[in-house]
Structure 1
Amino acid sequence: MATARTTIASTRWERLKQDIRAAAGGLGIDQIGFASAEPFTELKHVLLRHREQGYESGFEEPDLDKRVDPALSLAEPQSIIAIAIAYPSKLHNPPKSEPGAYRGIISRSSWGDDYHAVLRDRLSRLEAFIRERVPEARIESMVDTGALVDRAVAERAGIGWSGKNCSIISPEWGSWIYLGEMITNIPFPPDTPITDQCGSCTKCIDACPTGALVGPGELNSSRCISFVTQTKGFVEDELKLKMGNRLYGCDTCQVVCPVNKGKNWTHQPELQPDPERVKPLLPPLLTLTNKQFKAQYGSMAASWRGRKPIQRNAIFALGTFKDRSAVPHLAERLQQDERPEIRGAAAWALGRIGGAEASDAVEEALLTEQHPQVREELDHAQAALQAQ
């Protein structure tokens, strides 16, 4: 009798699973997978080694047990549903970056509306679909601000394999996907993980601007350009130049991935980019007030760290481009900005650009600047200008 009841229950959950899979597209979900809710035991060893080597970004959930054990997010979990939503990789008619009108670039993961909100919306739709059929279901949904490691869940659920670039790579969608998951007490039959298909390819590792990909699937976050663009402090000279014109994020390891070739997804309306917003002119960014920044970028994921990192990165880009037309803007930041990181960035950029006007601005700032790190940047800039 017990066996019969178990069989009936298994059939019910398998049928619901297939119903969910059939409904996923209508719910705005591009790919869906099901996994067991067992702890990610092996992952904890990886995360611990990552921490010991100093490879963490500091943005992660600090409690490693919460990152690997679904039961610490939902009592007595039975399974996890993983979802993926595809986002675009190409700009239609992108504005040109040229002398006197240089532009920065925001990474593809932040081109449309904040993906956290989009994922939460899709998970809410899925949760409503399930509760309509199983009112007693217990569900805990999360996006990348949640405790679990999204990539580990997605890999176990068969969304894709974990690539050497630390992204989940879906055979259909590539790695241009956002990931989310929900833990539930419903015992869905699990899907089969996808076998690693990277093979001997190392294009992502070879192309990483800073060598942050220290091995297949192993990232030193402190050297990852995507992480550096989101920090708020001073940046070492080597990384400033490696950043190029990146204002937020870095797509290099995904752009070079052969699986991503030709993949560009335009069917999710909230995720489509405004070319002028994601590839903006650099000088106007320098004077944005908090209110103006929120109005222009507040709906994007790139806004979560505020305006300072993006303004600092815009200054680095102007210095990297050696844009002489930007010298008055940089001199103004050096003399008037209250934030030492911005003044320091302006000093570095002026030293890179060179010329009498840049030299005058640096000399004037040296007379009054008190912040030790800004003074250090000014000294380096002065030396560079004198060498020129």
Structure 2
Amino acid sequence: MDIKQLKQDVITYAHSIGIDSIGFTTADPFDELKQKLIDYHEKGYASGFEESDISLRTEPKLSLPTARSIIAIAVGYPNKLKGAPKSVKGDRRGMFARASWGQDYHTIMRNRLDKLAEYLKTRVPDIEVQSMVDTGVLSDRAVAERAGLGFAGRNGFVINPDLGTWTYLGEMLVSVPFEPDDPLMDSCGDCTICVDRCPTGALVGDGQLNSQKCISFLTQTKGYMKDEYRYKIGNRLYGCDTCQQVCPKNKGINTQHDDIVLEPEILKPRLVPLLKMSNKEFKNTYGHLAGAWRGKKPIQRNAILALAHFKETTAIPDLKDVALNDPRPMIRGTAYWAIGQILGEEATEFINEHYTSEIEEVQQEMIKGLEQES
């Protein structure tokens, strides 16, 4: 078998099925990453969404013992929403992060990786493969970096020369010893725009991210939003793109694919209708988005916070309805908080009227709603 020719054929085929960038690396352990992950957890930066077993994250052959190489792929996604509706007083809207635009990227990437795997099996019938996207145990970014797809920027994203940071990443462990590609050199230089513009100071500055401060992570949590971040999330319903939007390496880049269909009314939805949406309605409307993976509760909480951010007085009747009737304490409490923030002293009578009938955790939010300064 001519492995060098096979590699070229794989690259050609990959481009034909919508893979924008492809690279190859060995299946050797990621020793440097291992120490970084240890430090990351010791500093309390982890989100809790990652694989906790550091050995699995850094030793590819624990996932596929016969692995000789890793094929890394990147698919660019759009960052411009043509025909986006305006968010105006009386008709406020929220926003899903760009990585959640269109069909769930896990599906998009798996479809491409499955096609690539089938192609490899036609060329090497006894090949063994294992594909991973996001929820796999390996670090997509570490694999992509070592495979030469890009370099790690200060914002923690892999910066690809042609796609910028607007990429979905995935990888495939294979039992074929492909020649590895060379990593790219870091070219952030002295630029610190992403670090300087991060709304919560979540970027440490060396490419590391403190997930506990990151708005993208915070919008996905299910409990009460910490007080210090409630006005930081703005109208973000899921995720945050600030550190990508300000990156000079992303200037002029907007990759399009036929299977990433943009729906402006869904990606930038009205906030008030979200407040009382049923599970069925949420699943039917947003279930195909990656941003729906945590369910409707975080999205609804974030919608309430966004209305407080906008000081949207026209939403008060709906917020009062939620505060009085929603069965979930966290949602009721956040609604009471928002009412207090929007109306100020005018909310005192309403909150006092219902204070004694509420449980303690909601009462605490009622008090904070009247006291906390925006």
Q: CA deviation at 1:363?
A: 2.0
Is the 1:165–1:253 contact (alpha carbons within 8 Å) kept by the matching residues of 2? yes
Q: CA deviation at 1:62?
A: 0.9
Stretches of structure 2 lacking an aligned partner (at least 5 in a row): none
How many angstroms apart in 2 are the aligned matches of 1:80 and 1:368? Answer: 59
The residue aligned with 1:289 is 278
| 1:101-120 mapped onto 2 (5 Å cutoff) | 101-120=91-110
How many angstroms apart in 2 are the aligned matches of 1:347 and 1:45? Answer: 45
The answer on 1:278 being equivalent to 2:259 is no
The answer on 1:124 being equivalent to 2:114 is yes
The answer on 1:154 being equivalent to 2:144 is yes
Secondary structure of the residue that 1:379 maps to in structure 2? Answer: helix
Stretches of structure 1 lacking an aligned partner (at least 5 in a row): 1-8
Match of 2:163 among 135, 159, 173: 173
- CA deviations 1:58-93 (Å, max 9, x no partner) are 000010000000011001310000000010000102
The residue aligned with 2:178 is 188
Match of 2:340 among 338, 347, 351: 351
| 1:307-346 mapped onto 2 (5 Å cutoff) | 307-346=296-335
Give the TM-score taking structure 1 as reference length.
0.94
How many angstroms apart in 1 are the aligned matches of 2:141 and 2:197? Answer: 22
RMSD, aligned CA: 1.3
How many angstroms apart in 2 are the aligned matches of 1:68 and 1:103? Answer: 41
How many angstroms apart in 2 are the aligned matches of 1:189 and 1:93? Answer: 45
Is the 2:93–2:270 contact (alpha carbons within 8 Å) kept by the matching residues of 1? yes
Is the 1:88–1:272 contact (alpha carbons within 8 Å) kept by the matching residues of 2? no
Output the amino acid matched with 2:290.
A
Identity of aligned residues (%): 52
How many angstroms apart in 2 are the aligned matches of 1:297 and 1:160? Answer: 32
Is the 2:71–2:147 contact (alpha carbons within 8 Å) kept by the matching residues of 1? yes
The residue aligned with 1:95 is 85
Secondary structure of the residue that 1:179 maps to in structure 2? Answer: strand
- CA deviations 1:84-115 (Å, max 9, x no partner) are 00100001021000100011000000011000
How many angstroms apart in 2 are the aligned matches of 1:175 and 1:330? Answer: 37
- CA deviations 1:221-268 (Å, max 9, x no partner) are 0000000000000112220100000000000000000010111112x1
The residue aligned with 1:5 is none
The residue aligned with 1:3 is none
Q: Which structure has the larger Rg over C-alpha atoms?
A: 1
- CA deviations 1:9-33 (Å, max 9, x no partner) are 5xx1111000011111211211100
The answer on 1:249 being equivalent to 2:239 is yes
How many angstroms apart in 2 are the aligned matches of 1:364 and 1:83? Answer: 58
The answer on 1:382 being equivalent to 2:374 is no
The residue aligned with 1:82 is 72
Is the 1:44–1:64 contact (alpha carbons within 8 Å) kept by the matching residues of 2? yes
The residue aligned with 2:22 is 32
Is the 1:205–1:214 contact (alpha carbons within 8 Å) kept by the matching residues of 2? yes
The residue aligned with 1:57 is 47
Is the 2:337–2:370 contact (alpha carbons within 8 Å) kept by the matching residues of 1? no
Secondary structure of the residue that 2:212 maps to in structure 1? Answer: helix
Output the amino acid matched with 1:192.
D
| CA gap 1:13/1:318 in 2 versus in 1, 3 angstroms | same
Give the TM-score taking structure 2 as reference length.
0.98
The answer on 1:72 being equivalent to 2:62 is yes
